[in-house]
A and B are shown apart, each in its own frame.
Chain A
Amino acid sequence: MLLREVEYARPSTVDEAVALLGAHDGARALAGGQTLVNVMKARAASPDVLVDLNRLDDLRAVSVHRDALVLGAMATYTQIMESAEVEVSRPILAEVAAQIADVQVRNRGTIGGNVCSNDPTNHLPPLLAALGASFTIRGAGGERTVPAEDFFLGVYLTAVGEGELLTSISVPAAAHAADGFAAITLGADGTCIANAAATLHGGETRIALGCVDAVPVVLRPADTDDESIRAAVEQAGLEPPGDVHASADYRRHLAAVCAVRAARQASERGR
């Protein structure tokens, strides 16, 4: 496919990338490109300038700082799957990364690209919402950090504004965290029709549902048993979209199924 004409820049520092994004109207950051390049083919996105982040090794670092696991926005799914830091500090991230698409996509696709595209069927927005992640965004005016509830704003829309760049995602470190994830997909590891992430932490149960709204829907059920989870999903009054894969009613049903499965997995791990 021939893409629309586009200009391309390959900054060698994060500051340079931010400056480029700020200096050009219609500039867009190119992370792994496993979504962006395809939507450019379909002309669903037509950036005038691509700012390629792939040589910014600073953005690929995965590290543990005190009680937080900090993932560079350009960490790939494969990197997350293989990271010793992830394994010891929040292994659910590796488990879920391994369920995304296929080897080739996981080798190139990044955590930052996944959340910044904020496709409601993506795996990581609900997972990171459930885990209580925070997102560090850099712009011309400096850096700010926003919690998940303020990060995901709408379909394909996040708190990262024009001229800004997501640089890292921070997740509370907890080696034996009671986390769970469940999805109903189109084929093994395919696109999610419904998904849910669960975490039981400090006496609180948090469930985040994907695929049912523009942003992850975060629930705080009273307890972790199946009935409490189902009740919380029902009370959320979900009005999910219907499409060729699932009607709205069916998707609402699947949301509860995924929520229960994710919560059961989390509970088993919490014992």
Chain B
Amino acid sequence: MEQPLSSRTIAVHVNGQLYEREVEARRLLIHFLRDDLDLTGSHVGCDTGNCGACSVIVDGTLLKSCMLLAVQVDGSELETVEGLSGNGELTELQQAFSDHHGLQCGYCTPGMLMSATALLRANPKPSDDEIKKALQGNICRCTGYWNIVDSVKAASGQQVAARE
């Protein structure tokens, strides 16, 4: 029978690259990504599961990596913000965030991008309400939400109304 262990060797694909590491059971996924793999794009905002700055995609599902243990993603395929632009060019979504001022201080941006990426995969032409609902788990303390919604909308190829 499976025995409880205080650490394990895990194998995960992150943005297509395989990593094998021994991790303590108590290690949160966000710290594994940032400190063990040096993938510091995903941010620690609140560390209480509210702000979404640590959002990543695990086996196709958008999750907050501060509420997962690293040992739980053993065998999984992860996508982080670093993986969005595989060839070094910005994705349409990233370019739209730049064009529509979807980022101010930028701290929430990695999480916003991952949530918007998950949304656009499931729903390529979201309405404003659908965008807001999809980004509900991501907090921007610069309060730049209008521009973030515009950015996602523009990335989906929809017209964005001009703002005064």
Contact = CB atoms under 8 A, between A and B. Distances in A.
Interface of A: 1-12, 16, 19-20, 24, 27, 33-34, 37-38, 41, 49-52, 54, 101-105, 107-108, 188-189
Interface string B46-72: 011100100100000111101111011
Interface of B: 1-6, 8, 24-28, 31, 47-49, 52, 55, 61-64, 66-69, 71-72, 74, 115, 118, 133-134, 136-138
A75 to B, nearest CB: 14
Given A8-B8, A38-B49, A52 B72 contact: yes
Contact of B64 (A11, A19, A105): A105
Contact of A54 (B5, B67, B72): B72
B67 A33 contact: yes
A11 B4 CA distance: 9
Given A2-B26, A50-B25, 13 more contacts: A3-B26, A8-B71, A11-B1, A19-B1, A20-B1, A20-B4, A33-B68, A41-B48, A101-B137, A102-B137, A103-B118, A103-B137, A104-B55
A34 B2 contact: no
Contacts of A108: 61, 63-64, 67-68
Contacts, number: 104
Contact of B136 (A51, A54, A188): A188
A5 B48 CA distance: 19
A77 to B, nearest CB: 12
B152 to A, nearest CB: 13
A51 B69 CA distance: 12
Nearest to A98: B133
